[in-house]
Structure formats: C-alpha cells, structure tokens
Chains A and B, each alone.
Chain A
C-alpha cells in the first residue's frame, strides 16, 4: 500500500475551468493523452460511456472517476487528475456537484489493481481530500500525495 499516486499520475491540472461535464471529462482525457496513456479517441469513449450508462461515475460527493473500458485507444494505461475551480453538475443526484475528475485508463481488468487501491485510499481520506481539492498547483497535489504515501508505507 505504499504506492505513491504522485508518481503514477499521467498529469495533474489544478483549479481548471470547465463549462459542463463534457468539458470536464475532456480535460481529464487531455491529461491522459498528454501523459502518453491514451489516444484522443479514449476521451470520446469516456463521454460515450456516460451518455450510455448515466452519471454513475460520480462515485462519491464531488468526485467523478471518468473511464471507459480497455480498448485500442489505451496505449499504456494511466490516471489523470483535474481539480475544478468551479464545481460542475454531472446530473448525479446524490453526489453532485463535481470538484475533482480522475481520468482512468487501463489495458486490462487486472493490471491496475495496485493503482486502484492507492486511489481508493486517497479518495476515502476526507482530510486529505480537502487539502487536495484546495491545492492551487500540481506541485501541491504531488506533495500531499507524497505525504500520504509516506504515511502509509
């Protein structure tokens, strides 16, 4: 459980502006592309997944886990981090509005389990989440994640 998410994230963007949920997903998708994790087609697949299944990816108050399934658009798999300056409505009654979008891409169903465990540990830590969503820069996010990983090690 000592995996440091700061070293795993393909990209980190803080206090980003998104007009709606599609724009927020596009930011997370662009982060995956910039980190070499996916091709731009994966971003469209993430949006299509929500159009098909609804905004269930808003898994906890304020947190959206944007993802699609393993596909040719996934190059290596990865995680992107986008905190939003202005919370965005995804249409999820229980957990709107969203302030943090995590983009997730995986090559297969098992490869990313360690990453998911580390991610679950961070996202379920409400004190850490306050610091993380308030962070103004990517370096601040990395510093908090590094502290968490060190504390868990």
Chain B
C-alpha cells in the first residue's frame, strides 16, 4: 500500500506525520510505504497512492485526487491516526 503524507514544504509537518503514521502502521501490522511530500510533489504522488494523510487546510488546497484523503488534526495523537487509518484500510 502506498501512502503520502503531505505538507506545504515537504520538510516539517509531513515528515512528522510520516514518522507517526509508520509507527501506527507497524503496530497495526499493515505493510505500507509512506512518503513525505510537499504540495507540488503530492499532487503527482496522490495519483498513484491509495491514501493521503494531511491537515485540514492542505486537504482543501490539494483538491480532488483519486486517493482517499485522511485529515489529521493532531499529528502527535497516535490514537487519532490509528483510528482514521484503520477505518481507511478496512
């Protein structure tokens, strides 16, 4: 499974989101490749990814993509990430 963590710049928030998503995925036993990307890269990557993780503001900016877009409010809340990822892969 391919997942893209998106932020505006690709160096800060998306990297944190990728780290925490990987923690959650490992715990859930889901084999997935998580990539951190900025908005420009993400528009391309989101065409082939199954899931996009991002914040509310950026989800609006990203617009329509074929991937399922999951909005994360608190990037450090592993429970929120777990809940939303679990719902998305089911």
Interface-side segment among A33-41, A46-54, A130-138, A139-147: A46-54
**B83 at the binding interface (Cβ < 8 Å):** no
Q: Is the interface of B mostly helix, strand, loop or mixed?
A: mixed
CB distance from A123 to the nearest CB of B (A): 6
Give the size of the chain A interface in residues (CB under 8 angstroms).
Answer: 31
Residues of B close to A49: CB separation below 8 A = 8-9
A56 and B7 contacting across the interface, CB-CB below 8 Å: yes
Q: A56-B55, A56-B58, A124-B20 are in contact. Are A67 and B12 (CB under 8 A)?
A: yes
Task: Give B28-81 interface residues, CB cut-off 8 Å to A.
Answer: 36, 38-39, 54-58, 61, 73-78
Chain B positions within 8 Å of A, measured between CB atoms, are 7-13, 15-17, 19-20, 36, 38-39, 54-58, 61, 73-78
Chain A positions within 8 Å of B, measured between CB atoms, are 49, 52-57, 59-61, 63, 65, 67-70, 92-95, 104, 106, 109, 112-113, 116-117, 119-120, 123-124
